[in-house]
Amino acid sequence: MIETVSLTKRFDDIVALDHVTATIREGQVFGLIGTNGAGKSTFLRCLSGIYKPEEGEVTIDGAPVYEHTAVKERFFFISDDQYFFPSATPLDMASSYAIYYRHFDRERFKRLLSEFGLDGHRKISTFSKGMKKQLSVILALSAHTDYIFCDETFDGLDPVMRQAVKSLFANDMAERGLTPVIASHNLRELEDMCDHVGLLHKGGILLSKDIDDLKLGVHKIQCVFASEKEPEQIEGLEIIKCEHRGRLRTIIVRGDEDRIRALMDREETVFYELIPLSLEEIFITETEVAGYDVKKIILGE
């Protein structure tokens, strides 16, 4: 388990991380979302022990990460700004990483290279951005670490390769308990694979919850009332947000689904239906309640 407590990182007058406290449990996919400049890359670099925080700490199973070689062997960091040795080939990079990761699986590395259609003897400097991302993923999986930290790893991959990488992560999670930590500005990209998500904005965590808890606790109702009654008049209905379009009411409510249906069944309606919310809609709703314009935070509007 990874824990950060009051993690704070500054660059001169800029506070990149502001007392961030988070817990990343083993065997789950932790998704960290936020716009560019929100602090995602800084957070991952602190998790990796690249940056030393001014305040707070990062631990893996209680052991500090910074300047702790044995702990660093347990994770692989795929940076958004990838680095490979000048004139190196994929096989050269595998030999280098095998020095630092004792469990590096060379056979798996060669097999994945072949499956991804990458030439192990070709200079990486001639690879496209997407090919370099694929190589980074292959190196990470071959290192056989407990954690993989991914900084915008899916950016630059085509849809087929994205699905292939997700499948590889899922297999390693099932077979050996891999824990991916994935930072992205694209919430839609993470929705189908994350167990827990955290929203980072201006260096601080606005919201950190299990996806199942998020989806079970917030619901959307679309309805037309037979009378002039308004949703706010329904006793017991915990309304977060309500929109009017003619007679159609779109209501975001909090609570148990069965209880919400029981309340709506008592009302005189032309029709009503409960519609599942996307993860993006849930985040927008939850953070608007907290007083933030989340459409600007998540969508960059």
Residues 229 and 174 in one domain: no
pLDDT score of 293: 62
Q: Are residues 102 and 124 in the same domain?
A: yes
The widest CA-to-CA distance across the chain, in whole angstroms, is 74
pLDDT digits (tens, 9 = 90+) for 24-36: 999 999 999 877 7
Q: What is the pLDDT of residue 9?
A: 96
Kindly state whether residue 99 falls inside one of the protein's structural domains. Answer: yes
Conformational region of residue 191, where left means phi above 0, alpha means psi within -120 to 50, and beta covers everything else = alpha
Q: Is 6 within the bounds of a domain?
A: yes
Instruction: Name the percent of the chain lying above pLDDT 70.
Output: 95
Task: Assess whether 31 and 126 both reside in one domain.
Answer: yes
Q: Do the domain assignments include residue 83?
A: yes
**Residue 280 corresponds to which tokens in the numbers above?**
């993006």
Which of 181, 202, 223 is a domain's end point? 202
Please check whether residues 197 and 218 belong to one and the same domain.
Answer: no
Is residue 275 packed enough to be buried (19+ CB in 10 Å), middle (13-18) or exposed (0-12)? exposed
pLDDT at 162 over 80: yes
Pair 220, 198 in one domain: no
Total of domains in the chain: 2
Domain stop point among 202, 222, 242: 202
**The overall pTM is greater than 0.95:** no
The predicted pLDDT at position 33 comes to 84
Supply the range of the domain harboring residue 292: 214-299
Read off the pLDDT of residues 32-71 as tens digits, 9 standing for 90 and up: 987 778 899 999 999 999 999 999 999 999 999 998 999 9
Can you read off the two tokens belonging to residue 81? Answer: 């700004």
User: Do 222 and 192 belong to one domain?
Assistant: no
